[in-house]
Amino acid sequence: MTLAANPLDTLGQPLKRKEDPRFITGTGRYLDDITLPGMTHLVVLRSPYAHARIRSINTSVAKTMPGVVAVYTGADTAEVNPLPCAWAAGGVENHLDTPRILTPDVARWTGDAVAAVVAETRAQAVDAAAAIDVDYEPLPVVVNAEEALKPGAPQLHENAPSNIEAQWSCGDAAGTAQAIGSAEVVVRQRIVNQRLIPNPMETRGSIGSFDAGTGEYTVWMTSQAPHVMRLLITAFVLGIPEHKMRCISPDVGGGFGSKIFLYHDMPLVAWISKQLGRPVKFVETRSENYQATTHGRDHITDIEVAGSRDGVITGLRVKTIANMGAYLSTIAPGIPTTLYGRLLSGAYRFPNIFCEVTNVYTNTAMVDAYRGAGRPEATYVVERAIDLFADEIGMDPAEVRRRNFIPPDAFPYDPKVLTGPTGLTLKYDSGNYAPALDRALEMAGYADQATAKAEAASRGKLLGFGLSSYIEICGVAPSKWIGLPGEGWGAGLWESANIRVHLTGKVVVTTGSQNHGQGHETTMAQIVGARLGIPVEDVLVEHSDTSGTPFGYGTYGSRSGAVGGIAAYNAAEKVRDKAKRLAAHMLEANPEDMEYDDGTAFVRGSPDRAKTIAEIALAASVGYDLPAGMEPFLDETAYYDPPNCTYPFGTHVAMVEVDRETGHVDLVRYIGVDDVGKKINPLVVDGQLHGGIAQGVGQALWEGAVYDDSGQLLSGTMMDYALPRASRLPSFELDETVTPSPVNPLGIKGAGEAGTIGSAAAVVNAVVDALSDFGIRHIDMPLTDQTVWRAMRVAEAGGAGGDVRGAAEGRA
């Protein structure tokens, strides 16, 4: 650890996290660790059919079983509104269908909730749920989004003909068609971005408690956005006053997007707690999480990339079918539209881009944001397109990237697809893409790859190098850009913070952001502590409780630092201003002459005429002697709506070895050179990058949610859904470039999703490179042993195609 010249200026320092002592000693408090007096337990019966009409439900046996308190079905909850969808695809017609807290008539996927059993113990509730007799009339099922669009496909919702939720586009259709029509080279490829299961290690859950005396509800939830949940549960679902509910996220064991959303159990536990007058707890099992919590990705995309043989790309046309699942999750339509199409320029100066997206309902689990949320899908398209194009013209893919990079003098850069017909016009804030590429190539020994490949070949292995020069949109988002006038998000996306400096000089910061592993309790304290000159130890960060923290939109989209952190910064500026004014009064100085540094307000040029923040806080707290008109106490709140998103970037290089007999892929080295702007805490940032990389590698090589044709989830447990394991990953080799963001005063960009956004394409590009002798130009993820093996065998046989999973296309 390098120490700052000023120990109070901890910005940029790799501090150990303040929240860790409770986690390493087993004294963290996650949702399932909470037990309330008189608490009951809820177990949800879910449809075993992916599509079925519910003819009848017989709960009579279940109701008489030991410990059973109540059993509810959709008929009992008919008064409760469906869950809202908060983000319709912007600027186009949407056919919105959202789930109810218990489905009353038709089950549309195997996670659809049919009945709720409440018992004294969880075991009793499980036993009783097994005794509920439901008479189902199975209906035709469709799980593949492309199949769902075909004439005659089973229809999920009456108001969504052809199962289309929305059709959305961005970019320049005519210009792109012209570019493709006149191009020297056009490469076309279908690529599938498979469905993933987010897999936070803590499954989801909720606890409802109703106080009949006050008429107030308390709902504990594993949520990334408790303030938003309170709004949605009260105003939209249950129709009760917003202020009559308190929502609390206790310690949350990861989310990766899947805990942003409103799920049926959250209003359900509140509703049940009022019915029963007793608290009720719901905690998913892992299999249930796989069935019923949101999935991610699931795109089928046809790409056309056009350009000239000198390596310059002139057009990119993308047509994507996005699987929404059986209903819309809270922000689902916005993910494959705004957060996908608007990133399709990547790090490149593509003069023409056009993207069409069709959001489709199928009899599968709902699909919504999963780490990166649209941006990994876009990056995968762009970075595969670059390699396909490079392969076609026989040019080094690193060189093609270099020739198409947006040059450093072009910033702020308008890639044209970033802004729709209305709303705030956004531009990439800052960037210098080539140095990160050069450094990554240097670390990988890319220039001497022939030697490395020959060495691997001597061991019978096929070595491949894969690049990904990603950018991402972080720090979401300016409300005017993403909100209804522009991109269709039904609210704003500013963030909040409050700072109180107490009488003893100790500080409490509250934030509207939500910490579920990102380290807010440390990094927010670093921002505030550094600005106020107060030791980090003396700054407590409170979050995730609607009682006591200002409204905020929560944590996702790499926004906690670049939006939430700036709110904290701005609140600290307000505290500094007030402290200076009060200190001037205490020192009988002119307020205009005051400065603030190192926790001290002093008269400019006379540093001995000074008051420490502790002295000022004491004076403000006791309030005996304040300047005329000044309110007591140092208590300041800031709401920060960013003027722009931030645009981190970097180049990742994956090096893989493929066993030509088995298809097994070994990730032997992984190099990442990331530019996330300035860092609040590099230890935390690197941790975010590591975890993100592992998730992208997981998608590239192992992970995939697989349904059979009847809508049964075949990858229904951890026995069949392959998560990255320690033994299958190398240590990651990271370096950085630093291009501060001009968007915010800290120059930070965001890092929570960068690793995931960059890594899947790097790994796939590496495997395709390793298989170049076979003439293989593309394989769909995950690149399992079988998939890679089959690609090689099909290519050897001179064929193309193959089965749907693991299809490989040989170059003709």
Partner 1 sequence: MIPAAFSYTRPASLAEALSLLAGASDGTKVINGGQSLLPLLKLRVAEVDRLIDIGRLGELQGIRPGADGGLVIGGAVPYTAVLASPLVAERCPLLAETIADIGDVQVRNRGTLGGSVAHADPASDLPAAMLALDASFVTRSSAGERVVAADGFFHGAFETDLRPDELLMELRIPGLAAGTGTAYRRLAQPASGYSLVGVAAVVRTDAGRVVDARVGITGVGEVAYRARAVETALLGGSSVADAAAHAADGQVVASDIHADAEYRGAMAVVFTRRAIEAATVRAG
Partner 2 sequence: MSEEGATVEVAVVVNGTPRTVAVEPRKLLVQLLRDDLGLTGTHIGCDTSQCGACTVHVDGQAVKSCAVLAVQVDGSAVTTIEGIGSEGALHPLQDAFWTNHGLQCGFCTPGMIMCAADLLARDPDPDEPTVRHAIEGNVCRCTGYHNIVRSVMAAAAAMRDAEAGTSQPTATAQPSAS
Residues 6+ apart with CB under 8 A from 132: 45, 57, 58, 59, 61, 62, 71, 114, 115, 117
Q: What is the pattern of x (binds partner 1, CB under 8 A) and - over residues 731-770?
A: ----------------------------------------
Scan residues 666-725 and list those touching partner 2 (CB under 8 A).
683-684, 686-688, 690-695, 717-719, 723-725
When the beta carbons of 109 and 789 are compared against partner 1, the nearer one is: 789
When the beta carbons of 25 and 214 are compared against partner 2, the nearer one is: 25
Look at residue 126 and give the partner it binds from partner 1, partner 2, none, a contact being a CB closer than 5 to 8 Å depending on partner kind.
partner 1
CA distance 431 to 555: 25
State the nearest-atom distance from the C-beta of 756 to partner 2, in Å.
10
- For residue 282, give the amino acid letter: F
Verify binding: residue 812, partner 2, rule CB under 8 A.
no
| Neighbouring C-beta atoms of residue 709, cutoff 10 Å | 11
Q: For the chain, first and last CA: distance in Å?
A: 55
When the beta carbons of 193 and 695 are compared against partner 2, the nearer one is: 695
CA distance 673 to 314: 27
State the nearest-atom distance from the C-beta of 663 to partner 2, in Å.
21
CA distance 519 to 19: 7
Q: Would you call 345 exposed, middle or buried from its count of C-beta atoms within 10 A (0-12, 13-18, 19+)?
A: buried
When the beta carbons of 20 and 105 are compared against partner 2, the nearer one is: 20
Look at residue 518 and give the partner it binds from partner 1, partner 2, none, a contact being a CB closer than 5 to 8 Å depending on partner kind.
partner 2
Candidates 21, 38, 181, 745; binder of partner 2 (CB under 8 A) is: 21
CA distance 29 to 25: 11
Verify binding: residue 723, partner 1, rule CB under 8 A.
yes
Q: Which tokens go with 576? A: 């500094």
DSSP label of 367:
B
Scan residues 532-561 and list those touching partner 1 (CB under 8 A).
none
Verify binding: residue 519, partner 2, rule CB under 8 A.
yes
Q: What is the pattern of x (binds partner 2, CB under 8 A) and - over residues 22-41?
A: xxxxxxxxx-xx--------
Scan residues 726-765 and list those touching partner 2 (CB under 8 A).
726-727, 729, 731-732, 755
Candidates 253, 372, 533, 663; binder of partner 2 (CB under 8 A) is: 253
Residues 6+ apart with CB under 8 A from 757: 372, 375, 376, 379, 470, 472, 692, 696
DSSP label of 111:
T
* Integer CA distances (angstroms), 112 to 41, 73, 365, in order: 19, 12, 8
State the nearest-atom distance from the C-beta of 121 to partner 2, in Å.
9
Verify binding: residue 172, partner 1, rule CB under 8 A.
no
Q: Which tokens go with 275? A: 């019915």
When the beta carbons of 289 and 558 are compared against partner 1, the nearer one is: 289
Look at residue 790 and give the partner it binds from partner 2, partner 1, none, a contact being a CB closer than 5 to 8 Å depending on partner kind.
partner 1
Axis crossing angle, helix 754-770 with helix 682-701, rounded to the nearest 10 = 40
* Integer CA distances (angstroms), 439 to 448, 671, 774, in order: 14, 10, 30
Q: Which tokens go with 760? A: 């899947």
Q: Would you call 243 exposed, middle or buried from its count of C-beta atoms within 10 A (0-12, 13-18, 19+)?
A: exposed
When the beta carbons of 34 and 706 are compared against partner 1, the nearer one is: 706
When the beta carbons of 293 and 612 are compared against partner 2, the nearer one is: 293
When the beta carbons of 34 and 723 are compared against partner 1, the nearer one is: 723
CA distance 799 to 812: 8
| Neighbouring C-beta atoms of residue 64, cutoff 10 Å | 10
Q: Near partner 1 by CB under 8 A, which window of 87-95, 281-289, 472-480, 760-768?
A: 281-289
Verify binding: residue 287, partner 1, rule CB under 8 A.
yes
For strand 353-361 and strand 313-325, is the pairing parallel, antiparallel, or unpaired?
Answer: parallel
Look at residue 16 and give the partner it binds from partner 1, partner 2, none, a contact being a CB closer than 5 to 8 Å depending on partner kind.
partner 2
Instruction: Give residue 620's Cα distance to chain centre.
Output: 41
State the nearest-atom distance from the C-beta of 253 to partner 2, in Å.
3
Verify binding: residue 201, partner 1, rule CB under 8 A.
no
Q: Which tokens go with 261? A: 């959303």
When the beta carbons of 222 and 651 are compared against partner 1, the nearer one is: 222
Residues 6+ apart with CB under 8 A from 274: 210, 217
Given 3-state DSSP classes, what are the helix, strand and coil percentages for the chain, each rounded to the nearest 5? 30, 25, 45
Q: Which tokens go with 138? A: 């199975």
Look at residue 786 and give the partner it binds from partner 2, partner 1, none, a contact being a CB closer than 5 to 8 Å depending on partner kind.
partner 1
Residue with tokens 């536990």: 269
- Three-point CA angle 310, 314, 317, nearest 5°: 135
Cis geometry, peptide bond prior to residue 412 (ω within 30 degrees of 0): yes
Scan residues 458-517 and list those touching partner 2 (CB under 8 A).
516-517
Candidates 212, 719, 797, 804; binder of partner 1 (CB under 8 A) is: 719
Verify binding: residue 683, partner 1, rule CB under 8 A.
no
Scan residues 612-671 and list those touching partner 1 (CB under 8 A).
661-662, 664
State the nearest-atom distance from the C-beta of 801 to partner 1, in Å.
15
Candidates 130, 201, 410, 454; binder of partner 1 (CB under 8 A) is: 130
Verify binding: residue 780, partner 1, rule CB under 8 A.
no
637 forms bridges with which residues in the sheet? 498
Look at residue 251 and give the partner it binds from partner 2, partner 1, none, a contact being a CB closer than 5 to 8 Å depending on partner kind.
partner 2
Verify binding: residue 431, partner 2, rule CB under 8 A.
no
Backbone angles phi, psi at 296, to 5 degrees: -130, 165
Q: Would you call 608 exposed, middle or buried from its count of C-beta atoms within 10 A (0-12, 13-18, 19+)?
A: exposed
State the nearest-atom distance from the C-beta of 708 to partner 1, in Å.
9
How many of the chain's residues bind partner 1 (CB under 8 A)?
A: 29
Verify binding: residue 720, partner 1, rule CB under 8 A.
yes
Taking alpha carbons only, the member of 686, 724, 688 closest to residue 704 is 724
Look at residue 506 and give the partner it binds from partner 1, partner 2, none, a contact being a CB closer than 5 to 8 Å depending on partner kind.
none
Candidates 784, 794, 795, 810; binder of partner 1 (CB under 8 A) is: 784
- The residues binding partner 2 (CB under 8 A) are 16-17, 19-30, 32-33, 123, 199-203, 251-254, 256, 285-287, 516-519, 683-684, 686-688, 690-695, 717-719, 723-727, 729, 731-732, 755
- The residues binding partner 1 (CB under 8 A) are 122-123, 126-127, 130, 285-287, 661-662, 664, 702, 706, 714-715, 717-723, 725, 728, 784-786, 789-790
